[in-house]
């Protein structure tokens, strides 16, 4: 049985290593490119002997060490290892994908390979943003899934050790509070691993469940439901590294309350009104892009007077000649975006209106570059890992972003023009280090001198450019490299840098 392993090298080296491992075949291209689109392992096939399958007791072995090499921004090579169960040999392998943005979050077939072919070529921009795994198949079924990996939105990849082990089930899913008209708080309990949660609603006309809400906060055990799911059954599941748990029991949401087009406070429907609406409270400003801010506020309507909308005013602190009307938001819309660097350093306030009457103004808030980003956007310091290894003609150090990637809210925001990483590396002060800005999650430095290799380290930070061409950068990550003081996060499998650097600060204090 032939096993093909793809090591974590540059794409060209990985391809060369893989091709070299396939030389036992009649032609190297046979194993590397011979893929089929037939649906192997489908028990509905006319060639399946159903009675024979009922007598099968052995299980198909599970593929292991599922890995990926980046050939380009739109091309990847999957590889895996497989030890056949001789009592139930596979007839092939199926690559499966999971799209968490789809309305039906199920694993689907991407393609298949023949028996013993443990490589698969994936191509196309449409393949990004999805999770992948591999299963062994025969005419009677399939194996458990391998570990999974993700092709990120920028074309980079991340490999997980998570398998198809059961994640558990969210329980105690229930409506726990009514927050206002057409607003309900639902909560649940869950103790397993998770990165996020996904909620589905049942659409009777389609007789199908579809996703309507994703919660990126892994600590959340509650969320607010509005008219998007009013009158429908809903359920929740946990998501961990591409694996979706079993869904909770379903609950039925109340029907939406339909508002009348007129109010008793203004029966004539004219521009005049005899009542003053309640004032908004708790005005806050959050940053949602480098030069875009979002105002939000709370509002509790009184039973005797309804608002017809909200007014927003601005005050230029550099030229404070007075408050100016900036814009309006509709009934129930308690958000207002400030798009552009021109708003930086200005103050804002909000009032409810009803015809020609206005409530009192909120306390003002100021927006600056120090305004915190909304928790919806994961704009934080990335973490870094490094590995050193020997190559033809010298040595290489690879720096790879390990965690704290930009999340889907940042990537898909209409205010985002680009998201990139700036790497810097060297062995001296930051101002003397080399830098490079790329849209990939890794860079590789080449060395001819092992001493320089073993005295180097690197850092990374995220650069976010918005649609106004303004940028913001995260903090630099902690240094990682072959210097002993920075070796946390370093992989040196070949023991190229076995030096022990003396901690001069501790030795001098001991003297």
Q: Residue 79 domain-assigned?
A: yes
Domain that holds residue 306: 281-366
Question: What residues pair up with 419 in beta bridges, in sequence order?
Answer: 464
Q: Residue 374 domain-assigned?
A: no
- Identify the burial level of 422 via C-beta atoms within 10 angstroms of its C-beta, where 0-12 means exposed, 13-18 middle and 19 or more buried: middle
Report, as an integer, the average pLDDT of 47-68: 72
* Residue 48, SS3 per DSSP: coil
Q: How far is CA 227 from the centre of its chain?
A: 26
Q: Are residues 83 and 186 in the same domain?
A: no
Residues 39, 96: contact at Cβ < 8 Å? no
Could you say which of 298, 331, 366 is where a domain stops? 366
User: What per-residue confidence (pLDDT) applies to 51?
Assistant: 54
For residue range 106-135, list pLDDT tens digits in order. 788 999 999 888 999 999 888 988 889 999
H or E element in which residue 203 lies: strand 196-203
CA distance 468 to 393: 45
Q: Locate the DSSP E strands across 355-456.
A: 357-358, 365-366, 383-391, 394-403, 416-426, 434-438, 442-447
Residue 280: band (very low, low, confident or very high) from pLDDT cuts 50, 70, 90:
very high
The β-bridge relationship of strands 471-473 and 457-466 is antiparallel
Please state, for a pLDDT cut of 70, what percent of the chain lies above it: 79
- Identify the burial level of 450 via C-beta atoms within 10 angstroms of its C-beta, where 0-12 means exposed, 13-18 middle and 19 or more buried: middle
| Residue 65 Cα distances to 33, 62, 94, 120, 161, angstroms | 20, 10, 15, 14, 8
Q: Which of 238, 216, 208 is nearest to 375 (CA)?
A: 216
Measured from the Cβ of residue 286, the count of other Cβ atoms closer than 10 Å reads 19
User: What per-residue confidence (pLDDT) applies to 267?
Assistant: 38
Q: Are residues 291 and 389 in the same domain?
A: no
User: What per-residue confidence (pLDDT) applies to 103?
Assistant: 61
In this predicted structure, the answer to whether residue 45 has a pLDDT above a threshold of 50 is no
Residues 399, 425: contact at Cβ < 8 Å? yes
User: What per-residue confidence (pLDDT) applies to 290?
Assistant: 94
Three-class SS of 289-337: ECCEEEEEEECCCCCCCCCCEEEEEEEECCCCCCCEEEEEECCCCCEEE
Q: Are residues 22 and 154 in the same domain?
A: yes
Q: Are residues 176 and 151 in the same domain?
A: no
User: What per-residue confidence (pLDDT) applies to 488?
Assistant: 82
Q: Which of 247, 345, 237 is nearest to 293 (CA)?
A: 345
Residue 43: band (very low, low, confident or very high) from pLDDT cuts 50, 70, 90:
very low
In this predicted structure, the answer to whether residue 483 has a pLDDT above a threshold of 80 is no
Residue 471: band (very low, low, confident or very high) from pLDDT cuts 50, 70, 90:
very high
Compare 46 and 222 and report the one with higher pLDDT: 222
Q: Are residues 59 and 150 in the same domain?
A: yes
CA distance 236 to 197: 7
Residues 179, 224: contact at Cβ < 8 Å? yes
User: What per-residue confidence (pLDDT) applies to 47?
Assistant: 42
Compare 247 and 105 and report the one with higher pLDDT: 247
Q: Are residues 15 and 155 in the same domain?
A: yes
Report, as an integer, the average pLDDT of 57-86: 86
* Residue 54, SS3 per DSSP: helix
User: What per-residue confidence (pLDDT) applies to 221?
Assistant: 86
The overall average pLDDT reported for the chain is: 78
Q: Are residues 223 and 111 in the same domain?
A: no
User: What per-residue confidence (pLDDT) applies to 40?
Assistant: 38
Q: Residue 257 domain-assigned?
A: no
H or E element in which residue 442 lies: strand 442-447
Whichever domain contains 308, its CATH number is 2.60.40.10
Q: Are residues 175 and 233 in the same domain?
A: yes
CA distance 141 to 91: 10
Q: Are residues 349 and 389 in the same domain?
A: no
Q: Are residues 342 and 437 in the same domain?
A: no
Residue 44: band (very low, low, confident or very high) from pLDDT cuts 50, 70, 90:
very low
Q: Are residues 112 and 209 in the same domain?
A: no
In this predicted structure, the answer to whether residue 463 has a pLDDT above a threshold of 90 is yes
Please state, for a pLDDT cut of 90, what percent of the chain lies above it: 28
Residue 242: band (very low, low, confident or very high) from pLDDT cuts 50, 70, 90:
low
Q: Are residues 139 and 210 in the same domain?
A: no
Report, as an integer, the average pLDDT of 502-506: 38
User: What per-residue confidence (pLDDT) applies to 22?
Assistant: 34
CA distance 219 to 188: 12
Compare 18 and 304 and report the one with higher pLDDT: 304
Q: Which of 159, 230, 127, 235 is nearest to 190 (CA)?
A: 235
pTM of the model: 0.47
In this predicted structure, the answer to whether residue 198 has a pLDDT above a threshold of 80 is yes
Cβ within 8 Å of residue 17, ≥6 positions away: 6, 7, 9
Could you say which of 308, 332, 366 is where a domain stops? 366
Q: Residue 78 domain-assigned?
A: yes
User: What per-residue confidence (pLDDT) applies to 105?
Assistant: 65
Q: Residue 67 domain-assigned?
A: yes
User: What per-residue confidence (pLDDT) applies to 509?
Assistant: 34
User: What per-residue confidence (pLDDT) applies to 156?
Assistant: 78
Radius of gyration in angstroms for the set of CA atoms belonging to the chain, rounded to a whole number: 29
Residue 407: band (very low, low, confident or very high) from pLDDT cuts 50, 70, 90:
confident
Q: Residue 496 domain-assigned?
A: no
Q: Residue 503 domain-assigned?
A: no
Q: Residue 268 domain-assigned?
A: no
Count of the separate structural domains present in the chain: 4
């Amino acid at each position: 049985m032939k096993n093909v392993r793809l090591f974590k090298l540059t794409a060209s080296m990985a391809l060369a290593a893989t091709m070299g491992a396939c030389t036992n075949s009649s032609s190297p291209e046979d194993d590397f490119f011979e893929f089929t689109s037939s649906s192997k392992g489908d028990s509905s096939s006319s060639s399946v002997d159903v009675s024979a399958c009922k007598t099968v007791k052995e299980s198909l072995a599970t593929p292991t060490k599922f890995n990926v090499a980046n050939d380009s921004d739109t091309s990847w090579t999957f590889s895996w290892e497989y030890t056949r169960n001789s009592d139930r040999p596979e007839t092939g392998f199926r690559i499966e994908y999971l799209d968490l943005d789809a309305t039906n979050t199920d694993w689907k077939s991407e393609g298949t390979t023949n028996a013993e072919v443990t490589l698969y070529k994936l191509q196309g921009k449409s393949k990004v943003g999805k999770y992948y795994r591999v299963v062994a198949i025969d005419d009677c079924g399939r194996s458990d899934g391998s570990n999974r990996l993700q092709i990120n939105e920028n074309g980079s990849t991340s490999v997980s050790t998570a398998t198809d082990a059961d994640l558990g089930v969210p329980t105690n899913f229930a409506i726990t509070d009514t927050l206002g008209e057409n607003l309900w708080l639902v909560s649940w309990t869950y103790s397993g691993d998770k990165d996020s949660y996904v909620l589905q609603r049942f659409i009777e006309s389609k007789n199908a469940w579809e996703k309507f809400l994703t919660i990126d906060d892994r600590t959340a055990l509650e969320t607010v439901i509005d008219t998007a799911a009013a009158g429908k059954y809903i359920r929740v599941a946990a998501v961990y590294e591409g694996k979706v748990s079993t869904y909770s029991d379903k609950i039925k949401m109340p029907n939406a309350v339909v508002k009348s087009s007129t109010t008793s406070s203004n029966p004539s429907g004219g521009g005049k009104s005899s009542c003053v609406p309640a004032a908004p409270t708790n005005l806050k400003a959050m940053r949602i892009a480098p030069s875009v801010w979002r105002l939000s506020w709370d509002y509790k309507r009184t039973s005797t007077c309804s608002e017809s909308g909200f007014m927003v005013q601005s005050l230029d602190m550099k030229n404070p000649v007075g408050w100016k009307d900036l814009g309006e938001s509709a009934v129930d819309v308690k958000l207002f975006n400030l798009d552009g660097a021109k708003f930086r350093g200005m103050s804002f306030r909000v009032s409810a209106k009803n015809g020609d009457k206005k409530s009192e103004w909120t306390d003002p808030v100021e927006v600056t570059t120090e305004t915190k980003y909304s928790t919806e956007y994961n704009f934080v310091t990335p973490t870094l890992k490094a590995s050193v290894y020997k190559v033809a003609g010298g040595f290489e150090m690879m720096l790879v972003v390990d965690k704290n990637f930009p999340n889907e809210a940042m990537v898909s925001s209409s205010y985002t023009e680009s998201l990139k990483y700036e790497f810097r590396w060297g062995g001296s002060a930051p101002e003397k280090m080399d830098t490079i800005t790329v849209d990939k999650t890794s860079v590789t430095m080449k060395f001819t001198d092992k001493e320089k290799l073993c005295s180097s380290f690197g850092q990374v930070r995220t650069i976010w450019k918005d649609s106004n061409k303004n940028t913001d950068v995260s903090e630099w990550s902690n240094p990682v490299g072959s210097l002993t003081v920075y070796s946390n996060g370093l992989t040196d499998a070949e023991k190229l840098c076995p030096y022990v650097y003396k901690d001069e600060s501790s030795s001098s204090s001991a003297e």
